[in-house]
C-alpha cells in the first residue's frame, strides 16, 4: 500500500492561500482607511491654502470681506462651528472653525472674522499651524 501525499500537500497549499488572502485583505482595508484620512487632510490643507492666498492677494490696505470669502471653493464637506473669538491677537469678533473628519484624525481650519455687517477676514489658521499672521 502506497499512500499518496497529494491530499496533504493540497491542504497545506489551501491553508497558505487562505492566510495570504486574510493578510492581503487586512492590508487593503488599512490602505483604504489611510487614503480616506489622507483625503480629509488634503481637503483641509487645500482649502486653507486657498483662503490664505485670497487674504494675501487683497493686500494690507484692502481687507477680504466675508461676502467675498464665501465665494472661495471649499474642498470636501467640513463641519462649521462659529463662536465668539474671545482674546486674540487680531481684531476678530468671531471664529469660524471648519473641521474635516478623517478616519484617524480631524483637521481644522480657524477663520478669524472681524465685526460689522460684512465683516473682514482677519486671519486664517490652517491644519498644523499654531499662529498665522497675514
Dump pLDDT digits (tens) for 35-62.
Answer: 999 999 999 999 999 999 898 888 777 8
pLDDT at 8 over 80: no
Residues of the domain holding 61 = 6-125
Please state, in angstroms and rounded to a whole number, the distance separating the CA atoms of residues 67 and 18: 58
In a domain, 1, yes or no: no
In a domain, 91, yes or no: yes
In a domain, 131, yes or no: no
Which residue has 462649521 as its cell numbers? 80
Percent of the chain scored above 90 by pLDDT?
57
In a domain, 133, yes or no: no
DSSP-assigned letters across all residues of 36-53:
HHHHHHHHHHHHHHHHHH
DSSP SS3 for 113: strand
Q: pTM of the prediction? A: 0.77
DSSP run (H or E) holding 111 = strand 106-113
Q: What is the DSSP letter of 68?
A: H
In a domain, 87, yes or no: yes
In a domain, 115, yes or no: yes
Q: What is the DSSP letter of 119?
A: P
Where is pLDDT greater, at 126 or 113?
A: 113
In a domain, 134, yes or no: no
Please state, in angstroms and rounded to a whole number, the distance separating the CA atoms of residues 134 and 124: 8
In a domain, 86, yes or no: yes
pLDDT digits (tens, 9 = 90+) for 16-39: 999 999 999 999 999 999 999 999
Structural domain tally of the chain?
Answer: 1
Where is pLDDT greater, at 16 or 91?
A: 16
Tell me what the pLDDT averaged over the chain comes to. 86
pLDDT at 10 over 60: yes
pLDDT the model gives residue 23: 95
pLDDT at 131 over 50: no
Amino acid at each position: 500500500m502506497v499512500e499518496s501525499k497529494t491530499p496533504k500537500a493540497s491542504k497545506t497549499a489551501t491553508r497558505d492561500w487562505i492566510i495570504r488572502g486574510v493578510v492581503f485583505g487586512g492590508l487593503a482595508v488599512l490602505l483604504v482607511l489611510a487614503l480616506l484620512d489622507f483625503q480629509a487632510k488634503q481637503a483641509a490643507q487645500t482649502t486653507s491654502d486657498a483662503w490664505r492666498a485670497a487674504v494675501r492677494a487683497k493686500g494690507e490696505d484692502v481687507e477680504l470681506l466675508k461676502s467675498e470669502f464665501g465665494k472661495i471653493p471649499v474642498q470636501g464637506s467640513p463641519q462649521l462651528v462659529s463662536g465668539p473669538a474671545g482674546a486674540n491677537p487680531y481684531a476678530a469678533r468671531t471664529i469660524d472653525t471648519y473641521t474635516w473628519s478623517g478616519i484617524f484624525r480631524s483637521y481644522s481650519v480657524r477663520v478669524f472674522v472681524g465685526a460689522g455687517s460684512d465683516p473682514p477676514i482677519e486671519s486664517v489658521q490652517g491644519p498644523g499651524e499654531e499662529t498665522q499672521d497675514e
